[in-house]
Amino acid sequence: MEILKNYINGIWVDSMSTKTIEVINPANQEVLAKVPCGPDTAKDIEIATKFAFNAYKEWSKVPVMKRVQALYKLKSLFEENIGEIAEIITKESGKTKEESFGEIQRAIENIEVACGTPMLMAGDVIEDIATGVDEMMIRQPIGVAACITPFNFPCMIVFWFLPYAIATGNAFIVKPSEKVPLTMMKLFELIDKLDLPKGLLSLVHGGKESVDAILENQTIKAVSFVGSTPVAKYIYSKGTANGKRVQAQGGAKNPVIVLPDADIEMSSKIIADSVYGCAGQRCLAASTIITVGDDKREIKDAIYEAVKSRTIGYGWDDGISMGPVITAESKHRITNLIQQGLDEGASALLDGRKTSVSGYENGNFLSPTILENVALDKNLIQTEIFGPVMSLISMNNIEEALRFVNNGNYGNMACLFTSNGASARKFRNEADAGNIGINIGVAAPMAQFPFSGWKDSFFGDLHGQGKHAIEFFTQTKVVIERWPNIWTRKF
Ligand code: NAD
C-alpha cells in the first residue's frame, strides 16, 4: 500500500515518520493509501520551513505582476484536470459528483480573485503630509505561512488562503486533513508544474504532532486554520501565544427561520439542500429550522416531501444526491446524537439511522433524519451534529426566533425565509452571525468576500478570502520621506 510522500523543496520525499494511518473510502471502506503521522512528522515541518524561508526571500523580490502569472497557470491546470480532481474528492470524502465539481469551482474563483493582487495589495500615499514631506503605507509579505485544514472540503478550503499567500509574496505550507490527503497530492502534482522557487509551496502530512510543530516553529509567522471549535480555540491560543498571526475558523450550528409569508415550495427545497447537501458535513449547513406562526403543517409537509426524495449512494454514481459520512466513528457519533435528541424529548418525523445501500453495504451511509420538537433547554439543540439531521422547532414570532438565534454559541450563518422586506432588513441587522442568508440556504461568501464567522465559529480578526486574506498575508509599513530641496518643488 502506498505511503504518501511529502512535497518539500520542490520534490516528493518520504516523511521522517514511519508511523502511518489509513485513508479510507467512506462509501466502501477500501483503504486508498497510508498517510504519515506521529511525533516524527514534526521533523518534516522543520525541514519544510527552512526551505520555505529561503524560497520566500527569493519570491518576495519577484514583481507582483510576475507572481500572479503562476496563478493564471494554476487556474488552467485546475480546469484541465477538473474531472480527475473531482473523482479523487468523491473517493476520499464521499461527496457527490456535483458537490466535488462545485468545491473545485470555488477554489478556482479564489485563484481568480487573487490574480487581482497587483491592485488589491496596493498601499496609500499622501504627498506633502507636511511641506516637502511625503507619507506612504506599503504592504509587504510576512514570510512563511501555513494552513491546517478539515476533511469536509479537501480542495476548496486550502484555496481560501494559498493563492493570496503566494500572490502577496509569501511561502506557504499546507497540512491537509489526514482523512482526505489525496486531493492535495493531486493538486501538488499540478503545482509542481508551475516553475515556482523550490520550497515556496510545501505539502506536509500528519495529525496533531505536525500541527503542534507548526504552532511552535518560530519561522512560521501566520497560521490559517479551519476545523472544529475546540481545535480552533487551541490553535488560536497556542499560535498567538507564540507570536503568530492566526485566523481560526471553527464549528457551527446554523439556524434558519421560516416566516409565515415565505414561499413554502421554494423555501422547503432550498432548506433540504442546505441541511442534507454534503451529507450535512458542511459548516454552512442549515441545522435548526424554526418555523414561525400558527400554520406549521404546510411547511413541515413541504420539507418532508423535499427530503424524502433524496437518493443515497456512492457519490460518483449518477443520480445520487447524498453520499456517506466521513468515517464509521462519525456515523456512530451522529446516530448517538439522534438518540440523544429522542431521549431529550424530540420525535422523529424521519429516522435515517437504518440505511443500507446495495453494493455498498459497508459504507458509512445515513438517510436524512428530521427531529421534531427538539427540547430547547437540553443539549442537542446547541450541539454541532455535522451529519444529515434537521432539528425542527417552532416559535411564535420573529422576535422570539431572533432571540433563539442570538443565544446560540456559534455564529457562522443564520438565514431567514420571507417575502417581507422589513422582516428581512430587521433580521440582517439584528442576527448575531457573520454570514447571513435571506431566502438563501447556504450563505457561502464568494471569493471576493471574507468568510465571516462570528462567536465560537471564528477566532481572529481577518478572515479567509478576498481583501481580508490580502491583509492577513501582508504587514503594513509606513514610510515618511523628506528629500533635499534640490529634488523637490521650489516653494
Ligand atoms: P478537526 O478539528 O478534527 O480537524 C481539523 C484539522 O485539525 C485537521 O487537519 C487535523 O489534523 C487537525 N487536528 C485535529 N485534532 C487536533 C488537535 N487535537 N490538535 C491539533 N490539531 C488537530 O475538524 P474536522 O473533523 O476535520 O472538520 C469538521 C469540523 O470543521 C466541523 O466542526 C466543521 O464545522 C468545521 N468546519 C468549519 C468551517 C468554517 O468555515 N468555519 C469550514 C469547514 C469545516
Q: Report residue 328 as a C-alpha cell.
A: 464509521
Task: Determine whether the shortest distance from the Cβ of 226 to ligand 1 is under 6 A.
Answer: yes
**225 alpha carbon to ligand 1 midpoint, in Å?**
8
* Ligand 1 atom closest to Cα of residue 458: 41
Pocket test for ligand 1, best of 161, 283, 449 (most atoms within 8 A of CB): 283
* Ligand 1 atom closest to Cα of residue 148: 9
Phi first, then psi: give them for residue 103, nearest 5 degrees. Answer: -70, -30
Q: Is residue 37 a contact partner of residue 207, using CB atoms and an 8 Å limit?
A: yes
**34 alpha carbon to ligand 1 midpoint, in Å?**
20
Task: Determine whether the shortest distance from the Cβ of 453 to ligand 1 is under 6 A.
Answer: yes
What pLDDT is stored for residue 296 in this prediction? 74
What pLDDT is stored for residue 490 in this prediction? 56
**Helix, strand or coil for residue 156?**
helix
Task: Determine whether the shortest distance from the Cβ of 227 to ligand 1 is under 6 A.
Answer: yes
* Ligand 1 atom closest to Cα of residue 175: 9
* Rounded-to-integer distance, Cα 231 and Cα 229, Å: 5
Counting as low any pLDDT under 50, the low residues of the chain are none
Task: Determine whether the shortest distance from the Cβ of 435 to ligand 1 is under 6 A.
Answer: no
**262 alpha carbon to ligand 1 midpoint, in Å?**
35
DSSP class per residue in 193-255: GG-PPTTSEEE---SHHHHHHHHH-SSEEEEEEES-HHHHHHHHHHHHHTT-EEEEE----EE
DSSP class per residue in 300-332: HHHHHHHHHTPPBS-TTSTT--B---S-HHHHH
Residue length of the chain: 491
* Rounded-to-integer distance, Cα 141 and Cα 144, Å: 9
Q: Is residue 132 a contact partner of residue 211, using CB atoms and an 8 Å limit?
A: no
Task: Determine whether the shortest distance from the Cβ of 231 to ligand 1 is under 6 A.
Answer: yes
What pLDDT is stored for residue 487 in this prediction? 60
As a dihedral over the C-alpha atoms of residue 381, residue 387, residue 393, residue 399, rounded to 10 degrees, the angle is 70
What pLDDT is stored for residue 484 in this prediction? 80
Q: Report residue 257 as a C-alpha cell.
A: 427561520
pLDDT tens figures, 276-323 = 999 999 999 999 999 998 877 788 899 999 998 899 999 999 999 999
For residue 147, indicate whether it is catalytic: no
Task: Determine whether the shortest distance from the Cβ of 412 to ligand 1 is under 6 A.
Answer: yes
* Rounded-to-integer distance, Cα 142 and Cα 245, Å: 10
Task: Determine whether the shortest distance from the Cβ of 44 to ligand 1 is under 6 A.
Answer: no
In which residue are the cell numbers 449547513 written?
285
Q: Is residue 176 a contact partner of residue 205, using CB atoms and an 8 Å limit?
A: yes
**82 alpha carbon to ligand 1 midpoint, in Å?**
25
* Rounded-to-integer distance, Cα 293 and Cα 284, Å: 25
Q: Report residue 258 as a C-alpha cell.
A: 421560516
**340 alpha carbon to ligand 1 midpoint, in Å?**
23
The residues facing 172 across adjacent strands are 145, 201
